[in-house]
Amino acid sequence: MKGVVFNILEEVVEKNHGAEAWDELLDAANVGGTYTSLGSYPDTDMLALVQAASAHLGITPAELLHRFGRDAMPILKERYPALFNAHPNSRSFILSVNSIIHPEVLKLYPGAICPHFQMKENADGTLDMTYSSQRHLIDLAQGFILGAADVFGERATVERFPPGSDKENVLRVKWQ
């Protein structure tokens, strides 16, 4: 996983829980903690951090990834405003993830492994996003979607189809 993701996680942790919390989390997860934005690090480091943080906060790893994704979006907008400013709303932004956002990520961070989304716009205005990634971080994607709506001053809900269904990797986004 690219170091920039760890850097953003560190910023979210420090913003929400104080500067000491990051060091405590690194100790609890038993990971090194020196992450440079352009570096690549084992996915196991992120998983260990998620497990340690979820145990400390008393929430599931899925809930933690939702929170992280949502809290990360304002930071991403601050760091990469051009990716956001080109869009009038979160729907447009989200629809550009495969064609614009992830290619730009790969330019900035060669070797990054980005998920892919198959998009289906529904007649009722909802958007179905079929998630595909070797990392299986659909919960993080769900948080990113909600965070994008927040950044654009919109309200959205994201329904994940239940595990075991033929659509378990599908997120349905509905804007209010």
Any domain includes 29: no
Q: Are strands 170-175 and 116-121 parallel, antiparallel or unpaired?
A: unpaired
Strand partners, 2: 40
What is d(CA 150, CA 131) in angstroms, rounded to the nearest whole number? 21
* Residue position matching structure tokens 């900035």: 108
Q: Where are the beta strands (DSSP E) in 34-153?
A: 116-121, 127-132
pLDDT tens digits, residue range 28-72?
999 987 899 888 899 999 999 999 999 999 999 999 999 999 999
Q: How many domains does the chain have?
A: 1
Q: What CATH number is associated with residue 135?
A: 3.90.1520.10
Domain range holding 170?
88-176
Residue 160's pLDDT band, with cuts at 50, 70 and 90, is confident
Take residue 136 and report the two structure tokens written for it: 């299986």
Contact present, 21 and 56 (Cβ < 8 Å) = no
What is d(CA 133, CA 125) in angstroms, rounded to the nearest whole number? 25
Any domain includes 118: yes
Contact present, 128 and 159 (Cβ < 8 Å) = no
Strand partners, 20: none
Any domain includes 157: yes
Any domain includes 33: no
- Backbone φ and ψ for 20, nearest 5 degrees, come out as -70, -25
Side-by-side strand order, sheet with 116-121: 116-121, 127-132, 170-175, 156-160
Nearest CA-CA partner of 175 in 150, 151, 157, 152: 157
Any domain includes 77: no
> How long, in residues, is the chain?
176
Any domain includes 103: yes
pLDDT tens digits, residue range 92-136?
999 999 998 899 888 888 888 899 999 999 999 999 999 999 988
Any domain includes 100: yes
Any domain includes 39: no
